[in-house]
Structure formats: structure tokens, C-alpha cells
Copies of this chain bind each other. A is one copy, B any other.
Amino acid sequence: MPIKTIRQAINDTLRSEMRRDSTVVIIGEDVAGGAGSDGIDDAAGGVFGVTKGLVGEFGRERVIDTPISEAGFIGMAAGAACTGLRPVVELMFFDFIGVCFDQIYNQMAKFRYMFGGKTDTPIVVRAMVGAGLRAAAQHSNMLHPLVASIPGLKVVMPSNAYDAKGLLLTAIRDNDPVIFLEHKTLYDTSCEVPDEEYLIPFGQAAFTREGSDITIVSMSSMVLRCNEVADKLAAEGIYADVIDLRTVSPIDEGAVLESVEVSGRLVIVDEANERCSMASEISSIVAEKAFHSLRAPIAKVAAPHSPVPFSPSLEDIYVPTAARIEDAVRATLEA
């Protein structure tokens, strides 16, 4: 089976969906690149090369470069989604949601409800999230709790290439607006990705490690660190369920509750700022619905209440480290 990076898996999936369905179009800044200049046409393919090569096959009518006008073109994509296209629109860094939040929050998310169920809005908004690249306070945030909290949106956060493919297929074919969040530090991670088509349903978590001593819930790049910690503990005979939520809207509550009902102990690891994070949300779900199974305080491991610092020495401790996760797990085991 071919080994692919997440970048490649996304690129391949976009290509195959564009071949399958002529209403799928890609929209964004520099998704092709090279417009209005003397160089080659496929000059960029997205700032991290994720859409590279698509303009060559599908042309500028379906791989649409835009001016730097996020509110305008995200709104345009939302309008197009209601009127016959299935746009996959790229917001580049998800931090840029600040300039187009209305289009996401007040428009695409609410159409169906406000219109009494009379429209579908099949749009995928792709964007990069996360710290780790020294991109500082305006290019490094984890804003998934914000969008996960908005009724009408679905929010996907793959942690590996296999899931990226299956979730992206589901996202493109879904009739609701989907926010598809790619962690920048994961683009070059790879795993086996089958060539065949497979769709991963939303709201279905994956158990990346299994064990009954403690439950660790996470998503996106943090899953890798949780696995690392789980493996280390396993060597000591302590076994953890590591639950990769994969989608943070919908949330697979069942998987979390079932695991906690067995383990009685829960640590949630989220790269977002702690307050009102997915860590808070999962904790509150369990404190309400599996309270009597709990044998220890629920621990949240998240980013602190500060902007993302630039300096490597600070960014490295800003993002939850394996050491912090391990400490939280051990403390929870002992509590």
C-alpha cells in the first residue's frame, strides 16, 4: 500500500474528487499562483504546496486564484455552494478567520436554519492551524473550539494521512459547511493510504491506543504526543485508551464516555488556549454524563491563556509537551 504524507493525501483526494465531480472547484489565494505575472502558471499550489498541480489538470476556471479579500471570496464560495458548485475554499492560515468570520459564522453556518431547511451549503473551508513553526501570534492559533461551538458547522481535524483522505472525501460530499483544519506540523508526516476510495464518517473517533487504565482524548497533532506518552507508559505496564476525536463537531461522545466508564480517569489534551476549549467541553460532558464512573479529577492539558509567542524558547513550552501530558496522566492515575 502506498505511503503518503498528509500533503500528498489531500492533494490526491482533491484531484480525484475534481475528476469525479465537475462542480468541485478550488478557491483561494495562490491556490494556483502565477496569475498576472510572467512566470509559470502553477507557481504556488498553495503556500505549502497542497494544491500543487491541480491547475494544470483542471484549469483556472476550477482552480481559482483570488485577491487578498477573504471576506469576499469566502462569502463568494458560500454563495456558490448554495447555487450549484461544491467549493473547496482555502483560508490559508486559519488565523485569518478574523477578517471573514461573518461569512463563516453568520452566513454559511446559518443558511439552512434561517431558510427553514431549504438549502444545502456544500462547502469545505480548508485552513492551517497550530503552532510549532515560529510563525508567532497571528499565524499559529488553534481556533477549532470557536468553530466547533457554532451550530451549523462541522469541524474536521485529521491527525494522519489515512484519516485526512477519508475525512476529506466525506467533507467534499457532505451537504453542510465543513471546516477542515490541517495542522502545519503534520504535512510531512506519512502513513499507508489505500488507493481505493473510503469515506470516514464524521463523529466517529479512532482509538489510536487501547488500554483500560486511563482515557486520553485528543485531536490533530496532539494525538501524536499522546501516543508517545501512551507507548512510554505501556512499557511500564500502564495502558491508556488514546482517543483521536477526528472531528470536533460532531463529537463522538459515545467513544469518550464508554472509555471513561471503564478507566474512570480522563486527561484531555488540546493545543487550543485552555479556556472554553475542546478540553473544557469534553471534561464537562464527562462530568455530566459519566460522573459516577470517574475516580479522579479530570485533567486538561492545553495551551496557556496567552497569545502564541514567537521565540522558540517560549513556543516550545506554550504547546503542550509530551512531558506535560505525561505528568498529567501520572497525576491522574495517582489521584
Q: Do B95 and A307 have beta carbons less than 8 Å apart?
A: no
Q: Do B306 and A298 have beta carbons less than 8 Å apart?
A: no
Neighbouring B residues of A305 by C-beta, 8 Å: 151
Q: Which of A135-149 contact B (CB under 8 A)?
A: 136-138, 145-146, 148-149
Given contacts A146-B146, A276-B148, whether A291 and B284 have CB atoms under 8 Å apart is no
Chain B, Cβ-Cβ closest to A328: B288
Q: At the interface, yes or no: A278 with Cβ under 8 Å from chain B?
A: yes
Given contacts A288-B298, A300-B288, whether A151 and B273 have CB atoms under 8 Å apart is yes
Which residue from B71, B279, B298 sits with its C-beta under 8 Å from A291? B298
Shortest beta-carbon distance, A239 to chain B, in Å? 23
Which residue from B102, B289, B300 sits with its C-beta under 8 Å from A297? B289
Neighbouring B residues of A150 by C-beta, 8 Å: 273
Neighbouring B residues of A136 by C-beta, 8 Å: 114
Q: Do A114 and B137 have beta carbons less than 8 Å apart?
A: yes
Given contacts A145-B149, A276-B278, whether A114 and B307 have CB atoms under 8 Å apart is yes
Q: At the interface, yes or no: A101 with Cβ under 8 Å from chain B?
A: yes
Q: At the interface, yes or no: A237 with Cβ under 8 Å from chain B?
A: no
| Bound Cα distance from A249 to B137, whole angstroms | 20
Q: Do B298 and A284 have beta carbons less than 8 Å apart?
A: yes
Q: At the interface, yes or no: A113 with Cβ under 8 Å from chain B?
A: yes
Q: Do B294 and A291 have beta carbons less than 8 Å apart?
A: yes
Given contacts A113-B137, A151-B273, A276-B278, whether A287 and B284 have CB atoms under 8 Å apart is yes
Shortest beta-carbon distance, A274 to chain B, in Å? 8
Chain B, Cβ-Cβ closest to A297: B291
Q: At the interface, yes or no: A213 with Cβ under 8 Å from chain B?
A: no
Tally of chain A residues near chain B (CB < 8 A): 57
Neighbouring B residues of A97 by C-beta, 8 Å: 101
| Bound Cα distance from A149 to B110, whole angstroms | 23
Q: Do A288 and B283 have beta carbons less than 8 Å apart?
A: yes
Q: Do A307 and B273 have beta carbons less than 8 Å apart?
A: no
Neighbouring B residues of A104 by C-beta, 8 Å: 98
Q: At the interface, yes or no: A99 with Cβ under 8 Å from chain B?
A: yes
Q: Do A98 and B99 have beta carbons less than 8 Å apart?
A: no
| Bound Cα distance from A252 to B284, whole angstroms | 18
Q: Which of A291-326 contact B (CB under 8 A)?
A: 291-292, 294, 296-300, 304-307, 309
Neighbouring B residues of A12 by C-beta, 8 Å: none
| Bound Cα distance from A249 to B275, whole angstroms | 9
Top 3 A-B pairs ranked by shortest CB distance? A98-B102, A283-B284, A291-B297
Not counting A113-B309, A149-B277, A280-B281, a sample of 15 additional A-B residue pairs whose C-beta atoms are within 8 angstroms of each other reads: A98-B102, A101-B102, A113-B307, A114-B307, A148-B276, A149-B275, A151-B273, A151-B304, A251-B275, A276-B280, A280-B280, A280-B283, A280-B284, A287-B287, A288-B297
